[in-house]
Structure 1
């Protein structure tokens, strides 16, 4: 999992400018590549200090510092689901934009079927991809086909179909077949996005978030199988040639702002907030951060919405709780990825 997210951070850093260049849905703000990169970076960095149990260490029973370690900490480092959940929660807390928020939802949900397992198998991967795509679709108040959601769904369905034909085979070969099928289906879904959304068809480009998700899935295949990334996946994708101009040059600016925050809410207040934000704006994404409620029965939520004016949205949010990690970004001002993405990421 750490190797996967490290590869994804590097790949998205390398491709952020081209992803930004074709980002026109749901708003043409040219930041999908940057948002995915920063969100994946947060997930990866959450795991950088978490070495597997026993890696370069003495056994716990002879290490003096082991007496002060939290119970189960070392066991969790060998638990695929626990490690991925840690990364997912970090991504959720720092998620940027629509694409970053949806990827963090994907990551958190994928961790759930993997909990308690020290090894990834074809059946576990298929279950994880399916859970993740369902959760991502449900996080949006108004999900739209032809986006990264469609790519997630295609990958999950292909993985499930191949795994079903393996009759419980938990070999690495079966896992490889599932990974290949997921990436292949993701590529086909990316190609289809251009015809699923009128705005993409008019601009002759595929969906930026979909391409980002394809890169992330290929990084997973590469990390698990120990193979190189398949650079040919991107060949021929409309709008993705390096010589293609930035698509936003002649497009009008989008009005409004993107509001994001993290907030603890009861289930009723969460439902109320989603309804109120749906009335105020669009691109509403709400997803739970972590599985447990606090002592007052409230869960942490990551909230994302596009609105004409931030004041009413922030007023509704603050009427229901005390938000943290609040950000308000102008949709009309494309963010320059060169100011965010490190040279190492590129």
Structure 2
């Protein structure tokens, strides 16, 4: 029996789509040869939809506590927002924009078949707008075919949303089978587009939710034409030689960004010059940015100039010779960092960074996902925060059940993480590397300069709101009124016990002149001590200090 397009249908759609992508995930991963043959399109779509589903459930929970039920606007808006903040990879980012496009129409519509047709047409158009250089034979083509089929069905004013959704699914399925003839890399591999395959599964779930009849028919992933003899691609986790561009960018960079429209327009231009596969989705001050680049640090810095980037994900494709399933490396490092600049620094050093926003510590599942993305048999996990000790331990335990050997290095600050990363050597034995990194972290005293939010008692006395607090090894040791003099006092106290190297990590908005004054102070008062400066980009803490 057909169901109306309302909040309950959106909730059902999320659940059915998540089930469908769960069934299809590995098959979609196995045919992922474009734009990068990295074998994760199905997984990225699943994680994106999972975030969308959680947001919808939260909307229902919120209304339930008030004794009400959400409307269509609330539900579809939550789904789109959840997808935006949880979007993974090129495919997940485009799916988030498709949902946002639907939301733009459905929040002001009546849930009719005609409204659904208009929503799918807006979704396809907005996805094209979000992609810097659209390519036919991809999920964009499939989305357009779905919208066209839906519009044709909706032209019959007697068609309800269930019929329109089924027409969209049928149109997308037909278009998907044509993608190998539109995109050469798919034709050589003998497969359909992976992102388009995922969209067909999602649209099938929408049709099932509205029709009230669930079908679990798998999406066809092979092309109608036979596999060419000279395809040069092998599926199911084996090498995909020739399917990707061996000279393409080495990193995938994704982050959420708080910025205005004008700043984002400038950001698009800059990132378009740095790399490819650029997709920027969102609006109303919140954006999800995705790009493939060789210089991950530059991509993050561009975000810092545009606004406030966070939840930064930087994934290395495995070098110039990228494959469909990147080869497992022997050992990798996963590091939690508090700022965009530190995320870029870690990525350039070969680590997988997990950049966090103040007040939003990562969950253990996020750390597990970062360990998986590192694609290594052995992983060094650097929490870089004493409050993340239990979270990191839970993530490490989960990863071990998946066959990854994980060592939790007890880093309590980002500067200890930098010290540990500096001595990391994949060529030596695992245990020796653990000992060396742990020793380097332990030999680094850490401090941070923070701004007091309110009057309170500290180990150094009473502080007032706005005071500069100098914390050494986690305890307030100095209270001052100005950043530089307070930092000088902290440095003198730390170096009174000796030291060979000072690391300064500047927070967002802290000028280089601060570092220059502190460097001069160290040279004048502590002759044999070297100083190194990094632009961390962290917002909550103006200055981090490490003394080795």
TM-score over 0.5 (shorter chain): yes
Q: Which residue of 2 aligns with 1:60?
A: none
In structure 1, the residue matched to 2:212 is 226
**Distance in 1 (alpha carbons) for counterparts of 2:176 and 2:256:** 30
Distance 1:136 1:203 in 2: 26
**What's the CA shift for 1:339?**
5.8
Higher relative contact order (CA 8 A, sep 6+): 1
TM-score, normalised on structure 2?
A: 0.52
Is residue 318 from structure 1 mapped to residue 287 from structure 2 by the alignment? no
Q: 1:198-229 deviations in whole A, cap 9, x for unaligned?
A: 11111111101111000000000001111122
Would you say 1:256 and 2:246 are equivalent positions? Answer: no
Unaligned runs of 5+ in 1: 58-64, 292-298
RMSD in angstroms over aligned alpha carbons? 2.9
Question: How far apart are 1:143 and its partner, in Å?
Answer: 0.8
Shift of residue 308, structure 1, vs aligned partner: 1.2
Residue 25 (1) aligns with residue 34 (2)? yes
Which structure 2 residues correspond to residues 108-257 of structure 1 after superposition, within 5 A?
108-117=100-109, 120-166=111-157, 169=158, 174-229=160-215, 231=217, 233-234=219-220, 237=223, 245-246=235-236, 248-251=238-241, 255-257=249-251
Q: Quickly say closer, same or farther: Cα 1:111–1:15, change in 2 above 3 A.
A: same
Partner of 2:99: 107
Q: 1:186 to 1:318 in 2, by over 3 A?
A: same
Q: 1:96-139 CA deviation, whole Å, 9 max, x = no partner?
A: 0010000011111101211155x632111101101101001110
Alpha-carbon separation, structure 1, partners of 2:263 and 2:209: 40
Counterpart in 1 of 2:332?
none
Q: Return the offset for 1:87.
A: 1.3
Give TM-score, length-normalised by structure 1. 0.81
Higher strand share: 2
Question: Matches of 2:144 and 2:18 in 1, distance apart?
Answer: 22
Alignment match, 2:88: 96
1 CA distance for matches of 2:82 and 2:160? 31
Q: Give unmatched runs, 5+ long, in structure 2.
A: 1-9, 226-233, 329-368, 374-397, 399-548
Corresponding residue for residue 504 of structure 2: none
Q: Which has the higher helix share?
A: 1
Count of residues in Structure 1 that have an aligned counterpart in Structure 2: 308
2:33–2:240 Cα contact (<8 Å) kept: no
Within 2, Cα distance between the matches of 1:283 and 1:235? 23
Cα distance in 1, alignment partners of residues 306 and 153 from structure 2: 45
Distance in 2 of aligned mates of 1:329 and 1:127: 36
Highest Rg: 1 or 2? 2
Q: How does 1:323-342 map to 2 (within 5 A)?
A: 323-332=309-318, 334=325
